[in-house]
Amino acid sequence: MANKRALSWSVALRDLKDDRSRRADVREERLRTMAGLRGVAAPALSAWRGRSGRRYVVGVHELAEPDLAEVDEAVVIAVRRDEAGIAQAVSIAATGKGPRERLHRNWLARARQGGATEMHVHRLAEGETERRAVVLDLAADTEQGNA
């Protein structure tokens, strides 16, 4: 006796559509690091999944002005965590070259007012246009702008 399973394509397509809509939320996806290797310091890495489904790898830093001043040509995400450790983006900005100390301080103050304690930095976007696209992809209900 052969086992034959009836597949309802309409149900399968509906489930696929529901799954896609559930995944459309912007969220952090923690990365495994090299913490288990002896003698190797684990890099503080994480990733964010945008509404488009694209994944953006970020370095995790303390939310501090000296660290922000060193960020050049990147996407910066101010992050707060809830009691369960779930990350929520407070503010997302694209940085470029040039003196922006006052803008850095203003963005940092707004991020802290929103409860942010971490700064996630995505340095792999090439050019202003691509950084803007990343900001738009990750910005759901967060503040957007320039750091």
How confident is the model at residue 41, as a pLDDT? 60
How confident is the model at residue 133, as a pLDDT? 95
Model pLDDT for residues 73-89, shown as the tens digit of each residue: 899 999 999 999 899 99
Could you give the CA distance from residue 5 to residue 73 in angstroms, rounded to a whole number? 53
pLDDT higher than 80, residue 39: no
Burial, 31: exposed, middle or buried (Cβ in 10 Å; 0-12, 13-18, 19+)? middle
Measured between alpha carbons, how far is residue 26 from residues 16, 36, 113, 121 in Å? 18, 29, 21, 16
Nearest to 109 by CA among 134, 59, 145, 75: 145
- pTM summary value: 0.73
Count CA within 13 A, CB hemisphere, residue 102: 0
* Pair 72, 123: CB distance under 8 Å: no
Model pLDDT for residues 101-118, shown as the tens digit of each residue: 555 778 889 999 999 999
